Structure 1
Amino acid sequence: MSQETDVLVVGGGATGAGIARDLALRGVDVTLVDRGGIGSGTSGRSHGLLHSGARYAEADRVGAEECLEENEILRDIAGACIRDTGGLFVQLEADDPDYFDEKRAACEDIGIPVEELDGDEARERVPNLAEETVRAMTVPDAVIYPSRLCAANAADARNHGATVHTHAPVEGIDVDDDTVTGVEVGGDVSDTIEADYVVSATGAWAGKLAEMAGIDVEMQPNRGVMISVEYDDLEPVLNRCRDPDDGDIVVPHEGEVVLGTTSVDVDDPDEYETDQAEKERTRAECGDMLPPVEDAPEIRTWWGIRPLFAPDEQARGGRGISRGFFLLDHADDGVENMASIVGGKLTTYRQMAEAAADLACDKLGVDAESTTADERLPHVEDPAELDAVVAEFDGQGPTDEDVVGEATGTE
C-alpha cells in the first residue's frame, strides 16, 4: 500500500527542511524524506558562517544583497540557531590594499554596515591578531549552528502537518507519461510515496536523484576541509581580505575555532579522497591571521561537499565568485511534476526554500504566500528543547557538535 502526499521533498538539509516548512505553513500536505538524519549532508558539515554579504560585495552585488537580507531575517527568526559574533575582514601586509578599498566601497554601496580599524585597533579588538595586520573592517557576520537550524525547520514543518521521515533513502522513481507516478523509498519507510509534485533538495546528490527519473542534472561536487582547534579567545569571525582562497576563514565557537576551508572538485559526493596537505595549508593560512591557531590542539576535522551546479561553475571559471542557486523546473526536461533546487549557500537557505515552494504551489494551483520570513522558528528560545529536537531527528553534524547538547547534558 502506497502513501500519498501533495508534495514530496527529498533531502532534509536546511533547504529541504525549509521547503517542507514553507509548504506546511501554506497549508500544503507535504512529506520530507532524507536518507540519513536531518541535516546529515552538506548543511551539517559546513563551516557554519552566517554571511553578511561582504564576502561577495565587490564580485556579486545581487548575491551580497541576498546574504544581507537573509542574515537580518535569520537573526529575527532563528534564536539560538544563531550566535551573533560580528566579523572582521583583515588585510595583512601581503594583501592587495586596492582589494580592501574595493570591498569596503562595495559594502557601503550595498548597505552592509562597515567600520574601518587600523592595525592597532584591530589587534586591540582581537587579541593575538597577526602583527602583520595593516587594517581591518567590521561587518555583521555571525555563526550558524546548522544542526539546530535544520531541526527547527523540520519541527515547524511537522507542527503544521508535514510528515518527516529520516533514514529513508530514495531507491527509485517511477515515471509514466511524463509524470512521476511514485517514488520508491527504502529504510524506515519501505514503501512507495505517490506525490502530485516532487522537489529534489538533495544538494550535491541532485544529479543522482534526477537520473532515477531519466533527467540530466549536471552537478560538480566540491570538497572542503574544516578543522576545529582549541582556542577560547576569539569573538568575531575572521575573514582574510583577499580573493577567496584556502584557509581564509576562522569561525569562533566557545573554547574552539573552526578553520576553513579548501575547494577541490571531486567525482562522487559519497566517495572521495582527502588530502593531509589541505589540512596543513588551511592551518598555515589561518595562522597567518591568528598565529596561535596554526599549532593549536586539534579537536575534530571534517570534510564537506559543496553542491555546485556544473554549468554555472564552467561559466564562472571556478572559485572566487559568489555562487547563487538554481531552481530547475523539470517540465523543461519532459517530467512535468518535478523540480530540483541546486547551488546556493546555507545563509540563503530560506530564500531558496521560498522559491521552490512558490514553484510547487504554482504547479498545484495553491494560492498562498510564504510567511517564513516573519514566523519565528519553534524552540529557539530554549536551547535544551531545540537540542532535544536535534536528537529526535538524528540531526547532529560535526560543525556544531561542541555546542549542541550542552544544554541537555548529552554532548
Structure 2
Amino acid sequence: MTDDPTVLVIGGGATGAGITRDLALRGVDVTLVDRGGLAGGTSGRSHGLLHSGARYAEADAPGAAECLTESRTLKAIAGECVRETGGLFVRLADDDADYFEEKRRACEAIGIETERLDGDAAREVVPGLSDDVVEAFRVPDGVIYPSRLVAANAADAERHGATVHPHAPVEDIEVDEAGVSAVRVGGSVDATLKPEHVVNATGAWADQIADMAGVEVGMAPSRGVMISVEYDGLGPVLNRCRDPDDGDIVVPHDGEVVLGTTSVPVSDPDEYEQAAWEVDRSIEECAAMLPAVADAPELRTWWGVRPLYAPEEAGANRRGISRGFTLLDHGGEGVPNLYSVVGGKLTTYREMAEVTADRVCERLGVDEPCETADRRLPGADDPAELDAFVERYGGANPTDSDVVGVADD
C-alpha cells in the first residue's frame, strides 16, 4: 500500500465511521483505520439506548436537544439499525416526586413529547412492572444496534471512495514543524501513511493517540457493566426517574433485556477490574423496576468504557461529567493538522461527525455541504445486507450479538 490519503481517521467506532462517511460524501479522499473490528470499542459495548434526550433534560438542556434531533434523524435514515420502542421514566414510591416533575417539565420545554401515567396505567403498558411504581411518563426512546450502524456507515463511505481498514493499529506518529508528517499503521495495512490531516476519533483511547503525537487531550474514562438476561415481552425502554445512578436502565431486545449500568473511573481503558459487585448491584437496582429480572437466567455480561472528556477532572464520581462532545484542534500545540473529537454519545455520533468534517473541509478548502442527515444508510431496509456489512468489518459486538446475523444462523 503506497497511496496516501488526504485525511486519515483513526478509530472505527460510530464517530470515526460517521466522519469517514461524511468526508467521502463531500468528495474527500479519506482512509479509516481501527486496531480491531469496527465498533469493537465503546460503540459496540454499550447498552444500545437510542436517547430521546430525556435522561439529560433537566441537567443539560442543549445536550438533550441534540439527542432529540439526532434520534429523529436516525429513525429516518438508519432503518433496521435502530428500533423504535418508546420509553418510560418510572418513579418508585421512595423516589423524589419533585425530581419527577422537574424532569417531565424539562422534557416538555425541550420538545420531548411526554404522556403521564399513573402506576396502574404504567403496569398496563409493561406487565410485570413493579407494584412499587407510583407513576411514569412516556418518552420517544429506542434501541440502537451499533454493529449494524457502524458497518453501514463504513460501507457507504467505501461506496463513495473511502478506504476502510479494520485490524490496522496505529503504531507510531511522526510530527515535524508542519504537524503530523507520517503515521505508521500495522496489521492489515503494514505501511507508513502520509496524510494531510489526521482525525483522532478513538474515544476512550484518545489520550494514547495524542501521546504519540506529543499533544494532550484529557480523557476521564469510566467503566460500566451490562447484563443481558432472559425476559420476553418488554416493550419500551425502562428508565428509573431519579438522579443517574447504578442500575437505572432496562433496554428491550427480542427475548432478552439488557440491564445497566455502573460508572467506575478507570485509568486504562484496556486494563481494568470487572467487579462482581457491579453485576449484582445492576441486577438488584433494575429489579426494583422489573422484579422478574432478579432471577432471570443471565445470557451474557460485558463491560464498556465511556469516552468522557474532562481535562480538569479530579474527583471519583464521573456521572456528573457532561455527555456532550468536544472537537479539539491541536494547532495551538504545534500540530495544526491533527484533531481529536471526544466525549459525546452513540445517539449523537452523526452530529459529532458533521462538526468534525466541517472543520476539516474548511481547512482543505472543500465547499460541500453535509448530506448525512438526509441520505438513508445502505441496507437500512434489509437486515441481511446490514449483517453482511457487519461480517465484512469484523463481526457483531456484545451490545447486539443476539440480534445481528441471527436470522442467517
TM, length-normalised to structure 2: 0.98
- Counterpart in the other structure of 1:116: 116
**1:140-289 superposed matches below 5 A:** 140-289=140-289
Q: Is the 8 A contact 1:2 1:194 kept in 2?
A: no
Q: More displaced, 205-214 or 174-183? A: 174-183
CA distance in structure 2 between the partners assigned to 1:74 and 1:266 by the alignment: 31
Q: Is the 8 A contact 1:20 1:30 kept in 2?
A: yes
Q: More displaced, 112-121 or 210-219? A: 210-219
Gaps of 5+ in 2: none
- State the secondary structure of the residue aligned to 1:121: helix
Deviation at 1:220, TM superposition (A): 1.3
Q: Is the 8 A contact 2:265 2:318 kept in 1?
A: no
- State the secondary structure of the residue aligned to 1:375: coil
CA distance in structure 2 between the partners assigned to 1:231 and 1:312 by the alignment: 42
- Counterpart in the other structure of 1:381: 381
CA distance in structure 2 between the partners assigned to 1:312 and 1:48 by the alignment: 29
Amino acid at match of 2:230: E
- Counterpart in the other structure of 2:61: 61
CA distance in structure 2 between the partners assigned to 1:315 and 1:349 by the alignment: 27
Q: Is the 8 A contact 1:59 1:322 kept in 2?
A: no
Amino acid at match of 1:339: Y
CA-to-partner distance for each residue in 1:316-375, whole Å, 9 max, x for gaps?
973146411010001021101000000000000000000110111011111111110000
- State the secondary structure of the residue aligned to 2:194: strand
After superposition, the CA RMSD in angstroms is 1.3
CA-to-partner distance for each residue in 1:58-79, whole Å, 9 max, x for gaps?
1111000000000100000000
CA-to-partner distance for each residue in 1:8-62, whole Å, 9 max, x for gaps?
0000000000000000000000000000011111100000000000001111110
Q: Is the 8 A contact 1:40 1:395 kept in 2?
A: no
Amino acid at match of 2:101: D
Q: Is the 8 A contact 2:227 2:300 kept in 1?
A: yes
CA distance in structure 2 between the partners assigned to 1:254 and 1:408 by the alignment: 16
CA distance in structure 2 between the partners assigned to 1:334 and 1:226 by the alignment: 40
- Counterpart in the other structure of 2:98: 98
Q: Is the 8 A contact 2:177 2:334 kept in 1?
A: no
- The number of aligned residues is 409
CA-to-partner distance for each residue in 1:134-168, whole Å, 9 max, x for gaps?
10000000000000000000000001000000100
- Counterpart in the other structure of 2:293: 293
Amino acid at match of 1:336: P
- Counterpart in the other structure of 1:125: 125
Q: Is the 8 A contact 1:222 1:266 kept in 2?
A: yes
- Counterpart in the other structure of 2:361: 361
**CA 1:390–1:312 in 2, change beyond 3 Å: closer, same or farther?**
farther
Matched, 1:134 2:134: yes
Deviation at 1:188, TM superposition (A): 0.8
- State the secondary structure of the residue aligned to 1:182: strand
**4+ residue segments displaced more than 6 Å:** none
CA distance in structure 2 between the partners assigned to 1:321 and 1:217 by the alignment: 15
Gaps of 5+ in 1: none
Deviation at 1:178, TM superposition (A): 3.5
CA distance in structure 2 between the partners assigned to 1:321 and 1:174 by the alignment: 32
**Identity, % of aligned positions:** 67
CA distance in structure 2 between the partners assigned to 1:316 and 1:297 by the alignment: 33
CA distance in structure 1 between the partners assigned to 2:182 and 2:58 by the alignment: 45
- State the secondary structure of the residue aligned to 1:3: coil
Amino acid at match of 1:208: Q
- Counterpart in the other structure of 2:327: 327
Deviation at 1:311, TM superposition (A): 2.3
- State the secondary structure of the residue aligned to 1:310: coil
- Counterpart in the other structure of 1:337: 337
**CA 1:314–1:54 in 2, change beyond 3 Å: closer, same or farther?**
farther
Matched, 1:40 2:40: yes
- State the secondary structure of the residue aligned to 1:358: helix
CA distance in structure 1 between the partners assigned to 2:406 and 2:184 by the alignment: 38
- Counterpart in the other structure of 1:72: 72
Amino acid at match of 2:177: D
Deviation at 1:315, TM superposition (A): 9.4
- State the secondary structure of the residue aligned to 2:221: strand
CA distance in structure 1 between the partners assigned to 2:147 and 2:276 by the alignment: 27
Deviation at 1:205, TM superposition (A): 0.5
